[in-house]
């Protein structure tokens, strides 16, 4: 949105540059397109992130520490340098890391503003979407990953060297007032200019949406909204669905991970904390490329290593004898590999049904001979969830295909809404089989770690 607004105001046919200032750009002239324009847009786009982080840190800062330093005769600058800023180091480090990653991963702004200059995020996107070359995209992603991981490790090391806890509970005391006019007024002027610039940028988007042809014909019209609703309805619906689904899931997952890291003790706790924070340190472009490469029929040896290590980690808290541990390792590894590789290679949906039947028989054997009678209910519930997921995977396409066919017969906007709903249902029922295989392995590891903590062969 900010990039569009900057183009509307300061582009070659912009309101400010062309209409008000009368600048006619010729070849070789410096305009908004390029790295300088991209830097300006990214600053305006990402500085609210830093503001929110630093504001939260300042609200939790105890003013009594600054008041105590002031009562001892310290100057305002000395208090800022020795008391306030050191306590804000975690906030500065977190905001720097997030802004660094967001700037590297930003795709929309570079696509609109870089002009003849290229950045890594656009090169990765073009390698996947234009050249269909995942290997090139992976190589470029590795180049992009090195600086982000370096900054992430340095940030964690720098922040973890010392403690920044000042108080516990609610901060007490008042706020230090800045009375000097030569300090207050520059900040007031700077803040007013920033507010005016951001307001004008968003206002230009609102006005431009009602304009017939920006830079040439400023006649007000509603035709743009009609075209947007006709051609972009599916994009609007899918974007809304994406936000509505990912936000609560990510929030719940974050709460669970935070609870485990803070309140529980288990092996791999530090690794879980590191990996959870790593998601914020790795650009989304790299995560997307990794997801694509991971689920386009990866090599079998890679699957064996991943599933075996994952299941071995889940079994690490159990006290099973080695023969039985090896048996559980095989029982967990084979279903995961079958779902991840062989079932998709076979291509028949009924192979999934046959596999579900074999899984049910294996469940019956495990429940009968390996789990105490009073603990069978929880085991059965977990595997019923897994079997229900497989059932939805089988019958889901029949329902969604019929729903999409009926929607397309309606035509117009209802057709787009109903076909989008069919796609949304597939998101929950057509889980990628490699992901489902990992889920089954996780369920098996959970059962062993929770229900068999002290069993011996």
Per-residue pLDDT tens for 55-92?
888 887 777 777 787 788 877 778 878 888 888 887 78
Distance between CA 307 and CA 361 in Å, rounded?
22
Kindly indicate the confidence band of residue 368, based on its pLDDT and cuts at 50, 70 and 90: low
Give the least confident one: 189-198, 395-404, 438-447.
Answer: 438-447
Q: What pLDDT sits at residue 177?
A: 63
Would you state the pLDDT for residue 159? 64
Choice between 316 and 112, residue whose per-residue pLDDT is larger? 112
Supply the pLDDT for residue 311. Answer: 63
Q: Given a cut of 80, is residue 438 above it in pLDDT?
A: no
Res 454: pLDDT: 47
Domain made up of 2-170: CATH architecture: Orthogonal Bundle (1.10)
Which of the four pLDDT bands, split at 50, 70 and 90, describes residue 29?
A: confident
Note the pLDDT of residue 457: 35
> How much is the pTM?
0.68
pLDDT of amino acid 351: 54
Whether 270 shows a pLDDT value over 80: the answer reads no
Mean pLDDT of the 286-296 span: 75
What is the residue extent of each domain of the chain? 2-170, 298-457
pLDDT of 326 above 70:
no
Q: pLDDT tens across 125-135, in order?
A: 888 877 778 78
pLDDT tens-digit readout, 204-253: 888 888 888 887 888 888 888 888 888 878 888 888 888 888 888 888 88
pLDDT single digits (tens) 131-169? 778 788 888 888 878 887 787 777 777 766 655 555 555
């Amino acid at each position: 949105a900010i990039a569009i607004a900057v183009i509307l105001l300061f582009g070659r046919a912009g309101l400010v540059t062309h209409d008000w200032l009368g600048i006619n750009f010729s070849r070789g002239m410096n305009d908004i397109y390029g790295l300088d324009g991209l830097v300006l847009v990214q600053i305006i786009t990402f500085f609210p992130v830093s503001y929110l982080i630093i504001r939260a840190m300042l609200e939790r800062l105890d003013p009594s520490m600054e008041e105590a330093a002031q009562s001892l005769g310290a100057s305002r600058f000395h208090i800022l340098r020795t008391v306030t800023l050191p306590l804000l180091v975690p906030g500065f480090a977190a905001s720097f890391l997030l802004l660094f990653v967001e700037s590297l991963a930003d795709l929309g702004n570079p696509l609109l503003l870089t002009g003849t200059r290229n950045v890594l995020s656009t090169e990765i996107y073009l390698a996947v979407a234009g050249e269909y070359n995942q290997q090139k995209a992976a190589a470029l992603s590795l180049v992009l990953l090195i600086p982000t991981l370096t900054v992430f490790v340095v940030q964690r090391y720098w922040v973890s060297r010392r403690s920044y806890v000042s108080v516990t509970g609610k901060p007490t005391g008042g706020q230090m007032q800045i009375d000097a006019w030569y300090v207050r007024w520059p900040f007031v002027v700077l803040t007013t200019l920033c507010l005016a610039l951001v307001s004008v940028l968003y206002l230009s988007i609102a006005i431009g949406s009602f304009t017939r042809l920006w830079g040439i014909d400023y006649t007000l019209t509603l035709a743009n909204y009609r075209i947007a609703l006709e051609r972009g309805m599916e994009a609007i619906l899918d974007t809304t669905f994406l936000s509505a689904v990912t936000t609560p899931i990510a929030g719940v997952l974050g709460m669970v991970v935070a609870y485990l890291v803070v309140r529980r003790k288990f092996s791999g706790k530090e690794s879980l904390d590191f990996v959870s924070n790593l998601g914020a340190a790795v650009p989304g472009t790299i995560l997307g490329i990794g997801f694509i490469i991971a689920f386009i029929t990866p090599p079998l040896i890679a699957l064996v290593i991943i599933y075996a290590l994952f299941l071995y980690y889940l079994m690490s808290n159990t006290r099973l004898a080695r023969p039985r541990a090896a048996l559980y390792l095989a029982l967990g590894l084979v279903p995961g590999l079958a779902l991840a590789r062989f079932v998709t290679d076979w291509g028949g949906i009924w192979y999934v049904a046959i596999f579900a039947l074999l899984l049910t028989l294996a469940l019956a054997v495990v429940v009968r001979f390996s789990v105490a009678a009073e603990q069978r209910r929880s085991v059965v519930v977990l595997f019923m969830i897994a079997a229900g997921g497989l059932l939805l995977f089988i019958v889901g396409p029949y329902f969604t295909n019929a729903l999409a066919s009926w929607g397309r017969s309606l035509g117009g906007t209802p057709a787009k809404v109903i076909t989008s709903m069919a796609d949304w249902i597939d998101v929950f029922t057509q889980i990628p089989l490699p992901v489902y295989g990992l889920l089954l392995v996780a369920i098996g590891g959970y059962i062993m770690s929770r229900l068999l903590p002290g069993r011996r062969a």
